[in-house]
A = this chain, B = another copy of it.
Amino acid sequence: MQRSFLDRLFESGLLIETGVDGLYGRGGRFEDVIAAFERLIDRFGGADGAEAIRFPPGMNRAYFEKSGYMRSFPQLAGTVHSFCGNELDHVSLLKCMDADEDWTAEQKATDIVLTPAACYPLYPTVAKRGNLPAGGGLYDLQSYCFRHEPSNDPARQQLFRMREYVRMGTQADVTEFRQTWMDRGVEMMKEVGLPVEIDVANDPFFGRAGKMLANNQRDQNLKFELLIPITSTTSPTACMSFNYHQDAFGTKWGLNLEDGSVAHTACVGFGLERIALALFHHHGLDTEQWPVSVRRALWG
């Protein structure tokens, strides 16, 4: 079933094969849906006055190291490596490539890693500004993110876009923010005719030690997901996530409120490709044939 939806996406030109599982080009009509859904997000969130920041798809490796990502999700991260040799090294490199041998071992890590989630570069950026203003902070982010998990489920891509809102403030501020977006998420998906459920969830922590972290996260209701059936009806796909970090990021990055106390943080993420795929799965591959109410919600 997964394979056949992906095949139909390729045939229709909505996604474009690149020879690597989970790495796809997007056709113009696919992009139109993403752009339209982002405008819908703006319509729901625009009046909140978030500060818009767009980070590129790579981030400072030093910040990434400090984030603890390699402790929790080492298998998903992507570090960026470059050739740093001289002309003689280049001759060896080309010989190696010509002989069809592995030439990548000589590549050296740069100062950049691929962004694993749109909000990762935000915390150190905001921390550098000093204490948060009165009322805390609210940020609007979007970037391509990388996760090394090759799959032929079109809803599990290695490079995909995540739109996020991040709230920094008191516990009450950020939990209210999270609840507001859970309600909005349900309402938005209703407007575009998608069946949803919201459930407690956990991140894919690595290894046996990770199981404990996952259980802990669930027990404390730190993560919820908005699920929509796409490639499976028995295990629907997380299209939004709602995460409360308590004061963990505030403590790690030195994010303080106006009065100097440690900020709590929460983030709400939209998996833009997943939402587009859910729309194509439920309403068909031809956007012209989508229900009028859905088209109106997306294109006015």
Chain A contacts to B: CB under 8 angstroms:
16-20, 23-28, 30-31, 51-63, 65, 70-71, 74-85, 87, 90, 93-94, 97, 102-105, 107-112, 114, 121, 124-125, 128, 140, 144, 146, 148, 150, 157-160, 206-209
> Residue on B with the closest CB to A206?
B90
Q: Which residues of B contact A85 (CB under 8 A)?
A: 74
Among B51, B77, B107, B146, contact of A58 (Cβ-Cβ < 8 Å): B146
A-B contact pairs, 26 of them (CB 8 A): A18-B63, A19-B124, A20-B112, A23-B58, A23-B60, A25-B125, A28-B53, A28-B140, A58-B146, A58-B158, A58-B159, A70-B93, A70-B97, A74-B93, A75-B82, A75-B83, A75-B84, A77-B82, A78-B110, A78-B112, A80-B148, A81-B107, A87-B209, A102-B109, A105-B109, A112-B158
Task: Please determine whether A114 and B25 come into contact, CB atoms closer than 8 angstroms.
Answer: no
Main secondary structure of the interface of A (DSSP, over half): mixed
> Residue on B with the closest CB to A86?
B207
CA distance A10 to B158 in the complex (A): 31
CB contact under 8 A between A74 and B54, given known A25-B121, A109-B104 = no
CA distance A59 to B25 in the complex (A): 9
CA distance A80 to B56 in the complex (A): 15
Q: Which residues of B contact A94 (CB under 8 A)?
A: 70-71
CB distance from A141 to the nearest CB of B (A): 9
Among B76, B104, B209, contact of A79 (Cβ-Cβ < 8 Å): B104
Task: Please determine whether B111 and A144 come into contact, CB atoms closer than 8 angstroms.
Answer: no
CA distance A105 to B54 in the complex (A): 30
Task: Please determine whether A103 and B70 come into contact, CB atoms closer than 8 angstroms.
Answer: yes
Q: Which residues of B contact A206 (CB under 8 A)?
A: 87, 90
